[in-house]
Amino acid sequence: MPDKTKPTEGQPLPFRAETQQLLNILIHSLYTEREIFLRELISNASDALARLDFIMLTNRDVHDPDLPPEIRIRIDKDAGVLIVEDTGDGMTRDELAKNLGTIAHSGAKAFVDATRGSQGNLTEIIGQFGEGFYAAFMVADSIQVTSRSYRQEAQPAVWEAAGEDTYTLAPGDREKRGTAVHITLKEDAREFLDEARLRQVIKRHADFIQYPIYINDEEMPINRQTALWRLSPREVEAEAYGEFYKQLTLDFNDPLTHAHMAVDAPVQMYALLYVPADPHNLVFSPRKEPGLKLYARKVLIQDFCTDLLPPYFGFVQGVVDSEDLPLNVSREMVQSSGVIAHLRRLVTGKVVETLSNLGKSDPEKYGQFWQTYGSLLKEGVAIEQDGPEKLFPLLRFHTDKDPTGWTSLEDYLDRAKPDQKEIYYFLGEDPSAVRYSPHMEAFRSAEIDVLVLTDPVDPFMLMQLKAFQDRPLVNVAVAAPPEVETKTAEDDATPTLAQADLADLIARFKTLLGERVSAVRAASRLSASPARLVDPEGAPEQSVQRVYQLIDKDFELPKKVLELNPKHPIIIRLAALRPADPKFDLAAEQLFENALLVEGLHPDPVSMVGRIQDLIARALGDVEES
Ligand code: ADP
Ligand code: MG
């Protein structure tokens, strides 16, 4: 009886369904950039070597402990076979079955999903994904993988597949630790037996792989193998930064900006950091998750370390390497060591500095950055407990005077009048609301610019952004610019309601609106609008109210105060109406609802249509005055 858990030697085993699907696509694809299969195999070899380095930090009891780390590509022209061999951690028979028999690797599942219904640009998808080990099926008639695990007790094994349906597993005779992938090339893929062609592909896709890549028995590696980040920034040519980024992320585009750090105190570290131009470019990248590659003395400790930057800088890609990280410990220990906290402070500071410099040296590029990542940074201000101020100079805003450009807080203050003591902002739900807001009138007539905050994250940001360079941020719905109050007081020419009439009018509004407002009073500083709504004294700030609204659907806004403008012709005429005139209630209701509307508070604007039509009819004069 064959053991069901241990398949009979050499018996064909089916690939998993998704794997078959993936292989079918790859085997039959007409993709022209097939050379990327080599990139994938070399990157697997490099991963295997990095894992072995990591294992050997704590465990020297491995098979072939003195074998040098290397990747060797062998050409057998006569047999039409290309071999990619490494001295990495190797695989046991079970690992071969698990890792190569299913569709386990990071990109493949997403690849299959993405190819559904997109036959047209399949080639593009293949190019962007890579798809790991299986990419070799684009060029192979058959593939044989022989491997010997680093585990002393493991036996060598062979995995083999010649199509999309099945593979076989059998004992092998490989003595050396590591893995060799033998590819019997398709007739039309023999170009990869040409040494010059191979060199070109390796230079293009694997130059920065940190382990040496050799061809046949040569002793000179083909790739430059530099840990670019360990060089002094002076030694690195500008293009090398971009090439390294592309090999790291498989992004086709240059990064928006980069930073290279070499620090000796308080901890020793190197870092190479990048801001991708567009995070969508990384959807198909092996580096989709946030996190930096963390090396300790050139050994890869963690592929996606999220402890080195705050979450709002999760878009930053790159590598951090420190001599001061303890080597003989687990990943968990590394994280809890104080070194990580130092590294985090340094790396975060560098990202802030780099962005801040970009903002000054290349505002246009920074605008592109802000467009892409701005909301994340505002969120950062909201959640950062360790000095949110450091992010303030990175913020950009649309303003009332420059509604399409991006203004920093520094620019705003530079453009402000010297005696302006506050930074004014308008908080609303959409940018067009600012145009008709009665709160803006006084600021416009005083020619004071106002930041326009309409992003849902803005109220959260305001909870920590209270002042910049000692000037408080003030909501235009709450404060008046000081110059304007004097100006309106001097403005005697405009007719205004007599005190007694005004008091009477206020009382009538109060009776009509009842519980719908907390009070009615005269406004001192409206010019074009007849009325506006403001918060009563002691109400939470508007930004806080919005936060409550966003996190609690049942939150009720505090009732507003209705301010009437005693100089406005509508208000003056309203006061003159006879007490019984039905137009009073119609007009007063409509004024109140208009005010709700401009504040973005009207629950049902369509309900106003009936009343507005009534008012139109009366204005046209076909209704008898009562
Ligand atoms: P990914 O590299 O994204 O995990 P791949 O399809 O490239 O996906 O590889 C699948 C898995 O097979 C790897 O995660 C690894 O466990 C294993 N593997 C592939 N090549 C090697 C190799 N040369 N040495 C050791 N393990 C390998
Ligand atoms: Mg891979």
Question: 470 CA to middle of ligand 2, Å?
Answer: 52
User: Measured in angstroms, how far is the CA atom of residue 62 from the centroid of ligand 1?
Assistant: 20
Given ligand 1 and candidates 38, 42, 47, which is best to mutate, with the most ligand atoms within 8 Å of its CB? 47
Spatial neighbors of 538 by CB under 8 A, at least 6 apart, are: none
Q: From 137, 132, 122, select the one nearest 31 (Cα to Cα).
A: 122
Which atom of ligand 1 lies nearest, measured to the CA of 106? 3
| Rounded Cα gap, residues 336 and 237, in angstroms | 36
Q: How far is CA 559 from CA 533, 539, 556, in A?
A: 9, 9, 9
Of 365, 575, 381, 559, residue with least CA distance to 468: 381
Segments of the chain assigned to CATH 3.30.230.80: 228-361
Is residue 243 within 8 A of residue 260, CB to CB? The reply is no
105 CB under 6 A from ligand 1?
yes
- The architecture CATH gives domain 13-215: 2-Layer Sandwich (3.30)
| Model confidence, pTM | 0.81
Nearest alpha carbon to residue 409 among 429, 431, 382, 389? 389
| CA-based nearest residue to 326, from 270, 273, 267 | 267
Q: What is the CATH number of domain 228-361?
A: 3.30.230.80
Fold of the CATH domain 364-475: Rossmann fold (3.40.50)
**Cα of 1 from ligand 1 centre, angstroms:** 33
Contact residues for 25 (Cβ-Cβ < 8 A; gap 6+):
112, 115, 122, 126
Alpha-helix residue ranges (DSSP H) falling in 172-265:
195-206, 238-249
- CATH 1.20.120.790 positions along the chain are 489-619
Q: Which residues of the chain have pLDDT under 70?
A: 1-8, 104-107, 117-125, 127-130, 327-336, 482-492, 526, 622-626
**Residue with CA nearest ligand 1 atom 23:** 45
pLDDT at res. 5 = 47
Residue 333: predicted pLDDT: 64
Q: Considering only CA atoms, which residue is closest to atom 7 of ligand 1? A: 132
pLDDT at residue 127 in the model: 65
Q: Which atom of ligand 1 is nearest to the CA of 51?
A: 25
Element holding 484 (H helix, E strand) = helix 482-490
| 221 neighbors 329 (Cβ within 8 angstroms) | no
Residue 43 Cα to ligand 1 midpoint, Å, equals: 9
Q: For residue 434, what is the DSSP state? A: G
Burial class (CB in 10 A: 0-12, 13-18, 19+), 271: buried
Distance between CA atoms of 491 and 477, rounded to whole angstroms?
Answer: 22
Tokens of 535: 């918060």
Rounded to an integer, what distance in angstroms lies between the CA atom of residue 365 and that of residue 371?
Answer: 10
Ligand 1 proximity of 135 Cβ (cutoff 6 Å): no
**pLDDT value for 252:** 87
Q: Strand 317-322 and strand 519-522: pairing?
A: unpaired
Pair 448, 500: CB distance under 8 Å: no
SS3 561: strand
Q: What tens digit of pLDDT does each residue of 524-535 get?
A: 776 788 999 998
Collapsing DSSP to helix, strand or coil, 254 comes out as coil
pLDDT of res. 489? 47
> Could you give the 3-state DSSP secondary structure of residue 310?
coil
Q: ∠ CA 51-53-56 to the nearest 5 degrees?
A: 110
Instruction: Please work out whether the CB of residue 296 comes within 6 Å of at least one atom of ligand 1.
Output: no
Query: Residue whose CA is closest, atom 14 of ligand 1?
Result: 105
- Report the nearest-CA residue for atom 8 of ligand 1: 105
Q: Is 606 exposed, middle or buried (0-12, 13-18, 19+ CB in 10 A)?
A: exposed
- Residue whose CA is closest, atom 4 of ligand 1? 105
- Residue 575 CA, chain-centre distance (Å), reads 56
Residue 500: other Cβ atoms inside 10 A: 9
422 touches 473 (CB < 8 A): yes
Cβ atoms of residues 571 and 505 within 8 Å: yes
Contacts of 411 (CB under 8 A, 6+ apart): none
Alpha-carbon distances of 209 from 155, 320, 321, rounded to whole Å? 29, 16, 15
Nearest CA to ligand 1 atom 1: 105
pLDDT for 412 equals 98
The reply to whether ligand 1 has any atom less than 6 angstroms from the CB of 48 is: yes
> 316 CA distance to ligand 1 centroid (A)?
25
Task: Provide CATH 3.30.565.10 ranges for the chain.
Answer: 13-215
Cβ neighbours, 10 Å, residue 338: 10
pLDDT of res. 3: 44
Check if the beta carbon of residue 225 is closer than 8 Å to that of residue 83: no
Q: What is the pLDDT of residue 622?
A: 65
**Ion ligand 2: residues, Cβ under 5 Å:** 44, 132
The rounded radius of gyration (Å) of the Cα atoms in the chain is 35
The sheet with strand 257-263 has its strands ordered as 257-263, 269-275, 317-322, 292-296, 299-305
pLDDT of residue 36: 86
What confidence score (pLDDT) does residue 599 get? 86
Quick one: 489-619 is in which CATH superfamily?
Heat shock protein 90, C-terminal domain (1.20.120.790)
Ligand 1 near 45 CB (within 6 A): yes
Ligand 1 and 86: CB distance under 6 A: yes
Which ligand 1 atom is at minimum distance from the Cα of 134?
6
Q: What is the largest CA-CA distance in the chain?
A: 109
Give span(s): CATH 3.40.50.11260, the chain: 364-475
| For helices 363-383 and 338-361, angle between their N-to-C axes, nearest 10 degrees | 140
Distance CA 555, CA 562 (A): 21
Q: Which residues contact 220 (CB under 8 A, 6 or more apart)?
A: 214
Residue 490 confidence (pLDDT): 47
Reduced to 3 states (helix: H, G, I; strand: E, B; else coil), residue 322 is strand
> Ligand 2 centre from 57 Cα, in Å?
23
